[in-house]
Chains A and B, each alone.
Chain A
Amino acid sequence: MIFDEEINQIVRNIKPSGIRKFFDIAATRKNVVSLGVGEPDFITPWHIREAAIYAIEKGRTFYTGNKGLPALRKGICDYYRRRFNVSYDPEDNVIVTVGGSEAIDIVLRTILKPGDEVILPTPAYVAYRAIIEMAGGKVVEVELKEEERFKLTAKDFEKAVTDKTKAVILNFPGNPTGGVMSREDYARIVPIIKKHNIFAITDEIYAELTYEGTHCSIAEFEEIKDHTVVINGFSKAYSMTGYRVGYILAHKDLIDMIVKIHQYTIMCATTSSQYAAIEAVNNGDADIERMAESFRQRRNFIVKELNRIGLKTHLPEGAFYVFPSVKISGLGSEEFCERLLDQGNLALVPGNAFGQAGEGYVRISYAYSLDEIKTAIEKLEHFLNYGIRQDQ
């Protein structure tokens, strides 16, 4: 590293993603079977792809307004009302972003000042910590426990609140645990958010992949709606990861501030992707349901198989991950995954990549075909039976 002192210390201190490290190892090997991917396996439905192609054919290739195409913002608001019973105004309350990732970044940069604390329930999606720290904030982890089905409990949450707490990150259904918060679960933490005037940043990117009942958005709770920021996007619900379209729904006064960062760093989300998103949000409900049903079935399948081969796993209620404990193997997360890759040619993601709370667990994605899942389970079973014992 030739630039040591010249680089911003905050950036220097950010740990490289544990996932990245693992990807680099996996990429050097041949014929790796992977259950390590954090994106759906469906190709984007044709009518959505066709809308993007049509936009390009028609020469719709200019910048859009900063907040995104009016038709898309209207579509998003209609969608939230239709599917989650939450109302926002297309003019005042929406910014279309480059994926949920940009949304997380610009929301946190808008509200955080140095020293502000953000409560982060972990294991958590890898980007939150880095983005909080880059924005000058301090991460306060709250451990989500397997025995609580990876839900955020009021008791653990309140213990973490201090007078410096600015926000809490909520990601339910969650990556990597598949944990879900029901209306009753939220009702227990909403009074704490209200009492301490904390921003509730709710990343609902997996909302449509909720398998028991329908998704509840914390934005339903009117008493904290002014302090609620919804982040969502098209990646997981419509299998549109590569389009990079997400959005923010929030109070007008907050949107007016967030859009300042968005307009100077991004200008606007990719225009052809926005046209694809309009088609998705207006005419994609059937796609969502078809894909969610398929994920639910594969969830049932993989959980049954994991339990059969001795990795105790409960049935997660959302997303497309299971997060079983591998403590039974006597190995730590990373060692387990490295040896599994080495001996079994199977790539999983070590749980500690999602925070220290994930130590002893692995993330298994079931966004794969049934045949791929079966092959992976065979490899995993063989590794559990023979791989570990051999070396010990």
Chain B
Amino acid sequence: MMKELLTLLENNARYQVKDLAALLNEDESLIENTIRDLEDNNIIAGYHTIINWDKADTEISKAIIFVNCVPEREAGYDKVASKIAKYPEVDSLYLISGKAEFMLQVNGRSMREVSSFVAHKLAPTEGVTGTETMFILKEYKLNGRELVGEREDGERLLVTP
């Protein structure tokens, strides 16, 4: 039940408890308690809205940044990572395989703001040995939702056997 509940919420955080209970054929109180547990245990870490900022005519600047760094004795990469993660500009942060150690997505109000973050906060972080910043030019798909392209408009008949 938990996995199914999470999958439903992952696709639509606005489901009401009542609807979730009906969909999963469970009691509302059970669903409510399960969600609270999942939130308390940071399994449900938050609820987000997928926004097509471009369409909202709002200036926003996003960049993917590869970060090279040296691991620390005992802590490995985790200590550096938690330092970087604390900056509100960092939207997401991953330890990756390949040329770099970390991949970040950084959001700012302008290119200048993102650049300034890299120059003044990220690059000087202890352990960081290099950064490579790639600004995002256009978003085509975000969190599983297509943002561009035409709507698929296949239509079913009203009544069929």
Contact = CB atoms under 8 A, between A and B. Distances in A.
Interface of A: 17, 19, 22-23, 26-27, 32, 34, 36-39, 41, 43, 125-127, 175, 242, 293, 297-298, 300-301, 304-305, 315, 347, 349, 370
A349 B22 CA distance: 24
A22 B159 contact: yes
Contact of A39 (B4, B7, B25, B160): B160
A127 B160 CA distance: 12
Given A304-B25, A305-B22, A38 B158 contact: no
Interface string B124-161: 00000000000000000000000000001010111111
B23 interface: yes
B19 A301 contact: yes
Contacts of B156: 37, 39, 41
B77 to A, nearest CB: 33
20 contacts: A17-B161, A23-B159, A32-B158, A36-B159, A37-B156, A37-B157, A37-B158, A38-B161, A39-B160, A125-B161, A126-B161, A242-B154, A297-B23, A300-B25, A301-B19, A301-B22, A304-B25, A315-B25, A347-B159, A349-B159
A127 B158 contact: no
Interface in B25-68: 25
A186 B138 CA distance: 57
Contacts of B4: 293, 297
Contacts of A347: 158-159
A34 B159 contact: yes
B8 interface: yes
Contacts of A242: 154
A40 to B, nearest CB: 9
B59 to A, nearest CB: 33
A43 to B, nearest CB: 5
Contact of B161 (A127, A293, A300, A315): A127
Contacts of A37: 156-160
Contacts of B154: 43, 242
Which of A126, A175, A304, A305 has the most chain B CB within a 10 Å cutoff?
A304
Given A43-B152, A301-B19, A19 B24 contact: no
